[in-house]
Amino acid sequence: MAKPEKAIVIGSGIAGIAASIRLAVMGLNVTVYEANDYPGGKLTSFSENGFRFDAGPSLFTMPLLVDQLFEVSELNPRNFFRYKEVDTICHYFYNDGTVIKAYSDKEKLRDEVNQQIGGYGEEVINYLSDCAKTYNLTSGIFLEKSLHRLGSYLSKDTLKALVRLNTLNLRSTMNEVNEKKIGHEKLVQLFNRYATYNGSSPYLAPGVLTLIPHLEFNLGTFFPDDGMHSITTSLVNLAESRGVDFVYNSKVEKINVIGRKVKGVQVKGEQVEADIVVSNMDIVPTYRHLLPELKQPRQVLEQERSSSAIIFYWGVDRQFPELDLHNIFFSQDYKQEFNFIFREHDLFEDPTIYVHISSKYCEGDAPPGKENWFVMINAPGNVGQDWDKLIDLSRERIIQKLSKILDIDLQSHIESESVLDPRTIEANTSSFRGSLYGASSNHWLSAFVRHPNFHRKIKGLYFCGGSVHPGGGIPLSILSGKIVSELVQNDFRI
């Protein structure tokens, strides 16, 4: 079998960058085509009126996955990318005035929970121990390998996990598991929130997703020294040092296939040959626009999409010592909020609000005495709603709610504003309907019906990113790039 020489990656999201690095390390000539004039997909940044904002993902867990990309390149990651662990994972605010500070230190967390809600601290610690067990049992099969190759099921650890599938709460919802293990409604809501980390509803998503809190509470929450966008910039620099060529303002128009082999892509009317093509584009537009002549995998393409978001980027003219890097202001009726998002395709009148303030850790992200607020609410995907009206309504509700809880006239302190909504998310990143994580996990079989990282019939065609296995978010997207590289290595015996 001839060794492949040329690989093309479509899109420079974090998964595409990760895949390009690993393919280059394997000795391939790699070109990344990006439709925008910047890399990173959702993981980018912008500045406005002296405030710098990370435009997309704001949570950083499992930094070892970024480190590994430097290590496989035989470089010390600390010479190129630095981060610190945060002491407080999040501040949680409830409508009745309760505030829970989720400390990374387990003893402090136990004491905080006991003090704020009169007990349940030990239940939380036991719950987090169970989250770790679930993660350790499942990560090797559900996250780190292709679910769609027989070889993934032949290891000792995988067979052990399969034998214990009945203990993974696949048939119970996340909410049902949390109610059983924790009980207190405020804590159930706190841990139900982790379903949103892959754009799902805790009242529909399987209980196995209770592994997600493990990433924050047991493995740690981190923040890059130069902000989230530095994940992108440092990895692009790494990729370029390995010879990867990034070509911007170059939208791929078609993936060329002859018989059962990929032959390259069409970019700006030009035919570019390659032995391997990796699509980091959302799987829906990949098939519908780049592979229209192939049989469409309808079951995958018609899966329910994950939630989207409305994000306000506010430059605020004062500082708020009661807030931290990550802050959540909960809805009074969480179940109804998710019902509106996934069933009504609308916004609930009392939204849960996430406020991220990177200037708490990067002073240069805001002028002295001021803060940069990334303010997000979960939203349905774009199915033709009147988003201009919904944005105005959301803004009014958010300001009213935050003003009440913080006892401040917030509107009078906003001096700069930009907005991102499902329409612009879709336009900027080709994410179908503006979904943040591809398909939702609102069914117990969701992990098994995500599109695989390879095409079953077309040799040399692969897929990475949040819309395919193993899922969305920075860690899983990076893992998808790793899975692709391992498939290429195996398929072409490199």
Domain 6-43+57-81+225-304+440-491 falls under CATH 3.20.20.330: no
Provide the pLDDT for residue 161. Answer: 57
The whole-number pLDDT of residue 154 equals 47
Residue 153 has a pLDDT of 43
Tell me the pairing of strands 414-420 and 88-93. unpaired
At 447, list the tokens: 């992990």
What pLDDT does 446 receive?
75
- What confidence tens digit (pLDDT) does each residue in 149-167 have? 545 444 566 556 555 556 6
Q: In this predicted structure, which of 109-118, 151-160, 290-299, 461-470 has the lowest mean pLDDT?
A: 151-160
Average pLDDT rounded to a whole number, residues 454-469: 96
Mean pLDDT of the chain: 94
CATH number of 307-436: 3.30.519
Cβ-contact 365, 227 below 8 angstroms: yes
pLDDT at 286: 98
Q: What is the pLDDT of residues 366-424, one digit of tens each?
A: 999 999 999 999 999 999 999 999 999 999 999 999 999 999 999 999 999 999 999 99
- Higher-confidence position of 239 and 152: 239
> pLDDT > 70: what percent of the chain?
94
On the question of a common fold for 6-43+57-81+225-304+440-491 and 307-436, the answer reads no
pLDDT tops 50 at residue 434: yes
State residue 47 phi and psi, 5-degree precision.
-125, 150
pLDDT band for 465, please (50, 70, 90 cuts).
very high
Domain boundaries, the chain: 6-43+57-81+225-304+440-491, 111-220, 307-436
Q: What is the pLDDT of residue 265?
A: 98
Instruction: Encode pLDDT of 69-113 as tens digits.
Output: 999 999 999 999 999 999 999 999 999 999 999 999 999 999 999
Burial code (b: 16+ CB inside 10 Å, e: under 16) for 405-433 equals beeeebeebbebeebbbbbebbebbbbbb
What is this structure's pTM?
A: 0.94
Q: If you average pLDDT over residues 358-368, what whole number do you get?
A: 97
For residue range 320-334, list pLDDT tens digits in order. Answer: 999 999 999 999 999
